[in-house]
Amino acid sequence: MSESVKKVVLAYSGGLDTSVILRWLQDTYNCEVVTFTADLGQGEDVEPAREKAKMLGIKEVYVEDLREEFVRDYVFPMFRANALYEGCYLLGTSIARPLISKRQIEIAAETGADAVSHGATGKGNDQVRFELSYYALQPDIKIIAPWREWDLTSRTKLIEFAEQHQIPIAKDKRGEAPFSVDANLLHSSSEGKVLEDPWDAPEEYVFQRTVSPEQAPDKATSIEIDFEHGDPVAIDGERLSPASLLTKLNELGGANGIGRLDMVENRFVGMKNRGVYETPGGTIMHHAHRAMESLTLDRGMAHLKDEMMPRYAELIYNGFWFSPEREMMQQAIDFSQRNVTGTVRMKLYKGNVTCTGRKAERSLYSEDIVTFEEGSGTYDHKDAAGFIKLNALRLRLNKMLQG
């Protein structure tokens, strides 16, 4: 607490932790607090946060439904890249942080605040994601990260502080949660405590939005997804807004046991971490997008995308959404999607999501050319001899001259 702060915009969930932070900010910095609560589809009503903030004496309370913006401007662009962190993770938490940060910075400008604050701990990636976004958008903003500053280093101390300051504590929040949760329209993640031993599988009670494959229906569900320029726009012919479409896919995926992931990943801050993720709709979307691209995307662009993808995913994971290089890569990715338009049929069954059909007006797959007999004249199989011989030339020279 080296700086003087006049007014701070706090990312406020309405829960115990951020309520304690709210009060701690007031006490410690003797400053005004503006609360900002976003509905990103985390599945909890955000209105109680408004009431609670008012009850705690806050005058400027922002509660906003950002679901459409979240899916349209953050989730969809990222899915155009087929982004997977470390081969598996669909980046559900990572992609939500930049939007929250952006709105906090905008609200700071609107309300004349000189600082922002968040409730992320000092060991995780989220503090990095929040703060890199803050700085990128408002270089001279002051940032308060209570978990790195205060001495409420145990659950007991936190509860004591809450009690001392008349902050209401829900009954089930008195003890420590058996694991911590983050959720938004794209995914929910669970980590910590009971999940810490990577040799132990997560118990069924950890999962929030998916049934297990075992409990999913015995009959497959088949859906058709329409894509336009790389983004899904309709399910079974029904055009849906971005957030509505993802909501629908979440229901379908969740009911069919799709999108669970239990992984050990490498955090930006240097340690390995074990996370359990549920991304039902995102998992369907990912596979559907790849299938759509398989028909409509040129090989040169497809392979370039595959090579760029790990870096792109790493940037988002590490919190560099608002970085020049992420935007630079996005230009290339978006350009590649101009003809990624058509329809895929996906089968959902007990944890499996399988493409069972893809079609597109501008498909690059040509039955004419692949049929064994000579077709359109485009392909003469005698050409293959020359193709092979020139590709082989350097290999032959290597062997002859260098053995």
Binding residue positions for ATP: 11-19, 38, 119
Nearest distance in Å: CB 2, its own copies: 10
Nearer to its own copies, 46 or 267 (CB): 267
Hey, how many other C-beta atoms are within 10 angstroms of the C-beta on 290? 16
Binding-site members for L-citrulline are 89, 94, 125, 129, 180, 189, 265, 277
Nearer to its own copies, 62 or 130 (CB): 130
Choosing from 155, 180, 244, 345, which is the catalytic residue?
180
Nearer to its own copies, 55 or 201 (CB): 201
CB distance 256 to 303 below 8 Å = no
Nearest distance in Å: CB 345, its own copies: 8
Hey, how many other C-beta atoms are within 10 angstroms of the C-beta on 237? 8
Instruction: Return the beta strands (E) in 73-178 as ranges.
Output: 115-117, 142-144
Binding-site members are 11-19, 38, 89, 94, 119, 121, 125-126, 129, 180, 189, 265, 277
Catalytic residue flag (residue 39): no
Catalytic residue flag (residue 200): no
Nearest residue to 281 via CA among 181, 180, 203, 183: 183
What are 355's two structure tokens?
């493409």
Binding-site members for L-aspartate are 121, 125-126
Three-state SS annotation for 96-131: CHHHHHHHHHHHHHHHCCCEEECCCCCCCCHHHHHH
Nearest distance in Å: CB 123, its own copies: 6
CB distance 162 to 19 below 8 Å = yes
Nearest distance in Å: CB 291, its own copies: 8
Chain center to CA of 196: 22
Catalytic residue flag (residue 97): yes
Pairing of strands 260-266, 272-278: antiparallel
What are 360's two structure tokens?
């597109």
Burial class of 314 by CB neighbour count within 10 A (0 to 12, 13 to 18, 19+): middle
Nearer to its own copies, 6 or 157 (CB): 157
Nearer to its own copies, 116 or 185 (CB): 116
Choosing from 126, 182, 226, 231, which is the catalytic residue?
126
Catalytic residue flag (residue 241): no
Active-site residue set: 17, 97, 126, 180
